Structure 1
Amino acid sequence: MKAIFIFMMLVLLTGCSEESTEDAPIQQSVTEESNQHVDVENPQQEEATSEEQSKTTELTGEINVFDPVTNSVIATFSTTELGYHTDYYSYVNQIKQLAKDLAQGTDSTEGYDQRMFLDKVNENGELIKGHPMVILKESELVERILEISPNGGNVELPIYITETGYDRSEFDSLEEVIIASYTTYFKASDVGRTHNIRQSSDAISKVIVGNGDYFSFNTMVGPRTKETGYQEALEIVNGEFVLGIGGGICQTSSTLFNAVDQLSVEYVEWHHHSRDIGYVPKGRDATVSYGTLDFRFHNTTGFPFMIISTTTENSITIEIRTSEHYTYH
Structure 2
Amino acid sequence: MYVKRKWIISFILIGSLLGLAGCSEKTTKEKAMEKKIAELEKKIDQGKKAKKAKQTKEEPKLIMVNVVDPTSKKVIKTINPKEMGFGTDDNKYKQDIEAWVKEIARGTETTPGYDQRNVPDRIDANGQVIKGSPRVVLEEAELVNRIMEASTKGGNVELPLTVQASGYRPEDVPLLGEVVVASYTTSFNPSVTGRNRNIELSAAAINNVIVGTDDYFSFNTTVGPSDEAHGYQPAQEAVDGVLVMGIGGGICQTSSTLFNAVDQLGVSYVERHHHSVTVGYVPAGRDATVSYGGVDFRFQNTAGAPFLIKTIYGNGTLTVEIRTSAQYEGVLKKAV
Unaligned runs of 5+ in 1: 1-45
The equivalent residue for 1:169 is 171
SS at match of 1:75: strand
What CA deviation, in whole Å up to 9, does each residue of 1:8-50 have, x standing for no partner? xxxxxxxxxxxxxxxxxxxxxxxxxxxxxxxxxxxxxx99x95
1:226 deviation in Å? 1.4
For 2:56 and 2:76, the matched residues in 1 are separated by 33
The equivalent residue for 1:127 is 129
1:109 deviation in Å? 2.9
1:51 deviation in Å? 6.5
Identical amino acids, percent of aligned pairs: 52
* Correspondence 1:2-13 to 2 at 5 A: none
1:81 deviation in Å? 3.6
The equivalent residue for 1:71 is 73
Give the aligned residue type for 2:171. Answer: S
* Correspondence 1:235-314 to 2 at 5 A: 235-314=237-316
What CA deviation, in whole Å up to 9, does each residue of 1:130-184 have, x standing for no partner? 1211100112211211222233221111111111111122212111111111000
For 1:52 and 1:245, the matched residues in 2 are separated by 69
1:71 deviation in Å? 2.7
SS at match of 1:262: coil
Give the aligned residue type for 1:54. Answer: E
Decide which of 189, 192, 211 is 1:190's aligned counterpart. 192
Give the aligned residue type for 2:242. Answer: E
Give the aligned residue type for 1:94. Answer: D
1:62 has 2:64 as partner = yes
1:89 deviation in Å? 4.4
Count of aligned pairs between the two proteins? 281
SS at match of 1:259: helix
1:319 deviation in Å? 0.3
Give the aligned residue type for 1:230. Answer: Y
Give the aligned residue type for 1:289. Answer: S
SS at match of 2:230: coil
RMSD of the TM alignment (CA)?
2.2
What CA deviation, in whole Å up to 9, does each residue of 1:296-324 have, x standing for no partner? 11111111110001111211100000111
SS at match of 2:278: coil
SS at match of 2:227: coil
The equivalent residue for 2:28 is none
Distance 1:50 1:238, change over 3 A: farther
For 1:78 and 1:310, the matched residues in 2 are separated by 58
State the TM-score, normalizing by the size of structure 1: 0.80
The equivalent residue for 1:204 is 206
For 1:327 and 1:242, the matched residues in 2 are separated by 43
Give the aligned residue type for 2:269. Answer: Y
Unaligned runs of 5+ in 2: 1-50, 332-336
Distance 1:83 1:135, change over 3 A: same
For 1:86 and 1:226, the matched residues in 2 are separated by 56
Rg comparison, structure with higher value: 2
The equivalent residue for 1:15 is none
1:288 deviation in Å? 1.0
The equivalent residue for 1:160 is 162
Decide which of 225, 228, 251 is 2:230's aligned counterpart. 228
1:249 deviation in Å? 0.6
SS at match of 1:227: helix
More divergent stretch after superposition (140-149 vs 204-213)? 140-149
